[in-house]
Each structure stands twice: as structure tokens, then as C-alpha cells.
Amino acid sequence: MDWILGFLKKHGRLDAFNEAWKTVPLYPGFLVPKKGYHEVTQWQVKEMRNLGRCIMGVLAMALRQPGSAQIIPIKHAPECIKTLADFNLMA
């Protein structure tokens, strides 16, 4: 997640990521986050599992409408995050 946070900070999308994280809808068996991602100081196992399940949707919301200088890096970020999330869920 450090890489993701660094990427979001570099492109000015960290606030959008935190807002999207807080708006994840209720779903059976899923703990809805009450704080922004950046506000959580210690993660429990269930919270990390939930992050892996919804990171792509939250990231997609945070990376919407990129500026002209951001198009190429933002275009490649979801594939990298998908690969990391898949590895985490399989491990």
C-alpha cells in the first residue's frame, strides 16, 4: 500500500481515494469502513481482507478524469494494483 499511497500523493488523488474509501456501500459479510484509508492507524486482518476485495473499485473512483499530463501513468496503475490485489488474495 505504500506504493499506492505514494502514487496517489504524487498525482494529487489521495483525498479522492479517502473519500471513495468512505463511500463503499454496505454488503453482507463486508465491514464498511468508517474512516478514510489514511486515518486508520492499525489494520486488523478483516480490514486488510476487505481492502483487497474493494481496492480496484475505490482506486477507479479516485483516478477518474485524469489531467492530460496524468493520462499515461494513471492508465497503467489499475493493472499493477490488480496484480498486487490478486497476489494478496491468493496468498
Domain assignment present for residue 7? The answer is no
Range of the domain at 64: 44-91
Domain assignment present for residue 65? The answer is yes
User: Residue 67 has which C-alpha cell?
Assistant: 489531467
What pLDDT is stored for residue 59 in this prediction?
83
Q: What is the mean pLDDT of residues 60-72?
A: 76
pLDDT tens, 6-54?
888 888 888 888 888 888 777 777 777 777 777 777 777 777 777 777 7
Band (5; pLDDT cuts 50, 70, 90): confident
Domain assignment present for residue 25? The answer is no
Whether the CB-CB separation of 77 and 59 falls below 8 Å is answered with yes
The DSSP call for residue 30 is B
Helix (H), strand (E) at residue 7: helix 2-10
Q: What is the mean pLDDT of residues 58-78?
A: 77
Domain assignment present for residue 13? The answer is no
pTM: 0.70
Domain assignment present for residue 26? The answer is no
